[in-house]
């Protein structure tokens, strides 16, 4: 039997793969000649963590060297903030900048303890 199209409506998180057989099946699908939607590259690119990493300074530049192209790409980005327990200094600085410049809060009202 040959499958022409695979449309993924599940398996968006690692916990959806409960056995090694699940992982092997995904690998078989990706290696097949079938049209896979989304394929693994688009699947990963759509995750918030990948988007967050790509939005950090210098990351896009590792893949795209043309400065004008990088600028056009960066203009499409929305600010991304981690929900991790570790506070990223860049993220914190950006939050403070946005808060101050959009009148949400002033610096003295932000308390941060690490």
Are 36 and 56 within one domain? no
The residues, ordered by sequence, that sit 6+ positions from 27 with a Cβ below 8 Å of its Cβ are none
From the list 5, 82, 90, 78, the residue with the least C-alpha distance to 39 is 5
Enter the DSSP assignment of 37: E
| Cβ contact 37:5 at 8 Å | yes
Overall number of domains in the chain = 3
Enter the DSSP assignment of 60: G
| Cβ contact 1:32 at 8 Å | no
Residue reference for tokens 């570790």: 86
Are 74 and 85 within one domain? no
pTM of structure: 0.47
Domain that holds residue 32: 5-45
What is the predicted pLDDT for the residue at 72? 93
Are 99 and 112 within one domain? yes
What is the predicted pLDDT for the residue at 2? 83
pLDDT digits (tens), the chain, 114 positions: 788 998 888 777 778 888 999 888 888 888 889 998 888 777 777 777 788 888 888 999 999 999 999 999 999 888 777 666 555 666 666 666 666 666 555 444 444 443
């Amino acid at each position: 039997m040959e499958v022409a199209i695979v449309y993924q409506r599940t398996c968006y998180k690692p916990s959806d793969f409960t056995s090694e057989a699940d992982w092997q099946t995904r690998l078989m699908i990706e290696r097949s000649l079938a049209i896979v939607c989304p394929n693994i590259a688009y699947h990963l690119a759509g995750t918030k963590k990948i988007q967050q990493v790509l939005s950090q300074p210098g990351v896009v530049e590792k893949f795209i060297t043309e400065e004008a192209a990088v600028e056009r790409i960066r203009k499409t980005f929305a600010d991304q903030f981690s929900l991790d327990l570790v506070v990223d200094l860049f993220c914190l600085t950006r939050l403070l900048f946005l808060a101050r410049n959009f009148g949400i809060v002033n610096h003295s009202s932000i308390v941060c303890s690490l």
